[in-house]
Chains A and B, each alone.
Chain A
Amino acid sequence: MIDIPLQTGIMLSGILFFMGFLGVLVRRNIIFMLMSVEIMLNAAGLAFVLAGSHWGEADGQVMFIFILTMAAAEVSVGLALILQLFKHFKSLDSDSFNKMRG
């Protein structure tokens, strides 16, 4: 097995996180924004796993399982909300939801 240096892995996780964040900012479609948030979560999870393997601790993987569970729950709630929003606005454009403010 090739030993990947920690820095490379952290950099990958950082790039993933930034891509996800960029996705949240630039996409208008709410489903894509949700997916971008998922990428950000996984980037964070990857950082945990890397750190765990670096120090030889199981905590990192435990944390990742937590994040996975939380992400699943979050997605189910998020998708349900998106469904409701789509029913109401007949659109998935996040900017069109600004009529809700008040």
Chain B
Amino acid sequence: MIQGLWLLPTLPLLGFLILSLAGRRLNKKAVAYTGTLSVGLSALFSLLVAFDFFLAAPQDYQYTQTLWEWFSAGNFSPKISLYLDSLSLIFTLVITLVGFFIHLYSTSFMKEEEGYARFFAYMNLFVGSMLVLVLSENLLFLYLGWEAVGLCSYLLIGFWYKDKANGEAAQKAFIVTRVGDTLMAIGLFLIFHSLGTLNIQEVLTRLPAEYSEGSTLPLIASLMLLGGAVGKSAQLPLQVWLPDAMAGPSPVSALIHAATMVTAGVYLIARTYVIFEMAPLVQTLTAVIGAATLLIAGFSALTQSDIKRVLAYSTISQIGYMFLALGIGAWTGAVFHFMTHAFFKALLFLGAGVIIINLHHEHNMFKMGGLRKSMPFTFYTFLAGAASLAALPLLTAGFYSKDTILWYAWAGEQSSSIFWIIGIIGSFITALYTFRMVFLTFYGEQKQKVYGQPGLSIKIPLAVLAVLSIIGGIANLPENFGNIQWLSHFLHHNLPETHYSHATSETLMQTISGIIVLLGILTAYQLYLKSSSFAGRFRQTSIYQYWLSGWGFDYLYRALFVNPAVWIARINKADILDYINIGIARLHARWHGIFIKTQTGKLRWYAMGIAMGAILAVGVLVFLN
């Protein structure tokens, strides 16, 4: 079945083709079936491929399927070829399965919307491109997927394009991620220039052989790749686009801006881990960026009143954890957290979508309240996701994955205890903002009428994702508790193991982080449920405003980049450089004006012209010979 690997990206792309070409002529039911089935079949095939991979693992846990040669230019002939190993398999499974459930959810969620076929066409294109990204064998093909998911993100953020603000949010996301993408392209040029190939495995084996650790090429190349990852994964300093990206529909936020696309940066770094290992400076920088981002985004999440913006900042913060894990060499920890994060964050976005749509597009949590009684199903599934996000000890998947990262941050060879402290502070903040959101939304008195209840096609995805957010942790239980390290062992076939520098009792560290989480939840309970005055008083402070605006990054970038660009455009309204082009055009018009006079319509003049020309030609020939 592993030979059917090519079907995985092909099926969603086929769905995209059908929906984009014939979407207008299909009724909503046909659109829903096409859109969902294409991803569903892809998910089914990915399960079969995974089954095959587990039962009869290919040599070195690597399987390559070359489809055709893309193009050939000199020595450079990149191929359209797919590469499957443990890392890309985990990503593929998460993308297709979570993607399928989100599509199923969307069939009902988007029912009332115009552009139903357009929505599913974009979503299918996204899933196909994302699979191209994670399954690509060479960096160029990966870059194609990388850009295509960026395009889908742009199209879907601006899905309700009639509202100008949504279009602006889409443009912001596109332009900001473009900064990172440009850096990544430079990195690819650099790698190609020095190694003459973009085949990932070839690069990873040849780089250590031909360059010494810490030399310039791995340093610059990894820095550029990190730039691309930072842009895509909304990390400091390019994190500004993700909160605004919430202008898109909730399933889009769940699929693209929480579960899959924003973790493409994590995938890229894990994929090219050798380059980062050869540049320890850049790897430490990755950890520093992750640590800084998880704190900054966490504090911002504490102040938001829009439920989706809380989740957006939380996504940035959780991806910060993954970057921290990558930076300290806890490769499997990052992938594990990616997996559980995809489950619970998709669930939270889908739950938030249900709440928002049944309150007639109310985003403000302070106007919700008391939904526990009126929306019980949504409440329990949302609670499962929230508990997992807050890393509630022992029960939830989020605890195990975050604990892996914190444990490596404490005991890992490349880590220092400052990262652990930041991680612990971050997990306190995470618990605080998560349960602030839960208490504001579901507890207290009900402030609004609930207009409807979710149907079956919404309940199934919520239930499945809720179960996964709780039990997903059994994929990798810590050494002192169960010690089922299935995921780590599986990933270690293709990713290096993390070494410990000192052995502390793992149980002690887990107890500390568990207590911190419980303290965070308790604080949220005290501040937002017991005392009603705190929220109002907190809102008066200036630090609240500062955090609310995302630490002022938007103002900074407006002052540094946007306003100068606008200013230059204004003073250069006439476009000085254009005068060169206008001048060339005028010169030609003048010439033309001279020659136009010879076109008299008089036959004898033309005959004269021909004769003169002939004489001239013969004369030239005679004299030159």
Contact = CB atoms under 8 A, between A and B. Distances in A.
B602 A98 contact: yes
A47 to B, nearest CB: 15
Contact of A100 (B599, B601, B604, B608): B601
B603 A97 contact: yes
Given A94-B602, A94-B603, A99-B601, 18 more contacts: A24-B604, A25-B607, A25-B611, A26-B604, A28-B604, A30-B603, A33-B603, A95-B602, A95-B603, A95-B604, A97-B603, A98-B600, A98-B601, A98-B602, A100-B601, A101-B599, A101-B600, A101-B601
Contacts of A95: 602-604
B611 A94 contact: no
Interface residues of B, number: 9
B18 to A, nearest CB: 51
9 A-B pairs closest in CB distance: A98-B601, A101-B601, A94-B603, A24-B607, A98-B602, A95-B602, A25-B604, A25-B608, A25-B607
A13 B600 CA distance: 32
A97 B602 CA distance: 7
Interface string A67-90: 000000000000000000000000
A9 B34 CA distance: 88
Interface of A: 21, 24-26, 28, 30, 33, 94-95, 97-101
Contacts of A28: 604
A28 B457 CA distance: 90
Nearest to A95: B602
A101 B602 CA distance: 9
A98 B600 CA distance: 7
Among B607, B608, B611, find the residue whose CB has the most chain A CB atoms closer than 10 A: B607
A63 B611 CA distance: 23
A26 B604 CA distance: 8
Interface of B: 599-604, 607-608, 611
Nearest to A21: B611
Nearest to B604: A25
Contacts of B600: 98, 101
Contacts of B611: 21, 25
A85 B599 CA distance: 20
A29 to B, nearest CB: 11
B176 to A, nearest CB: 56
Nearest to B600: A98
A97 B607 contact: no
**Chain B contact residues: helix, strand, loop or mixed:** helix
A15 to B, nearest CB: 16
A100 B603 CA distance: 11
A56 B603 CA distance: 40
Contacts of B602: 94-95, 98
A85 B131 CA distance: 71
Nearest to A24: B607
A19 to B, nearest CB: 14
Among A21, A30, A97, A98, find the residue whose CB has the most chain B CB atoms closer than 10 A: A98
A66 B602 CA distance: 31
A79 to B, nearest CB: 16
A94 B604 contact: yes
9 contacts: A24-B607, A25-B604, A25-B607, A26-B604, A28-B604, A95-B602, A95-B603, A97-B603, A100-B601
Contacts of A21: 611
A83 B113 CA distance: 71
B64 to A, nearest CB: 66
A88 to B, nearest CB: 14
B599 to A, nearest CB: 7
Contacts of B608: 25
B604 A97 contact: no
B401 to A, nearest CB: 79
A52 to B, nearest CB: 23
A30 B602 CA distance: 12
Contacts of A100: 601
Contacts of A30: 603
A88 B602 CA distance: 17
A98 B603 CA distance: 8
B595 to A, nearest CB: 14
Contacts of B607: 24-25
Contacts of A24: 604, 607
A101 B599 CA distance: 9
Nearest to A36: B607
A28 B603 CA distance: 9
B54 to A, nearest CB: 79
A99 to B, nearest CB: 7
A24 B611 CA distance: 11
A61 to B, nearest CB: 26
Contacts of A33: 603-604
A43 B603 CA distance: 22
B619 to A, nearest CB: 16
B324 to A, nearest CB: 76
A100 B602 CA distance: 10
Contacts of A98: 600-602
Nearest to A26: B604
Contacts of B599: 101
Nearest to B611: A21
A83 to B, nearest CB: 17
Contacts of B601: 97-101
A26 B64 CA distance: 81
Nearest to A99: B601
A26 B601 CA distance: 16
Contacts of A97: 601, 603
A86 B604 CA distance: 18
A17 to B, nearest CB: 11
A97 B608 CA distance: 17
Nearest to A101: B601
Contacts of B604: 24-26, 28, 33, 94-95
A21 B603 CA distance: 13
A26 B607 CA distance: 11
A16 to B, nearest CB: 16
B606 to A, nearest CB: 10
B614 to A, nearest CB: 10
Among B602, B608, B611, find the residue whose CB has the most chain A CB atoms closer than 10 A: B602
B597 to A, nearest CB: 13
Contacts of A26: 604
A26 B608 CA distance: 10
Nearest to B607: A24
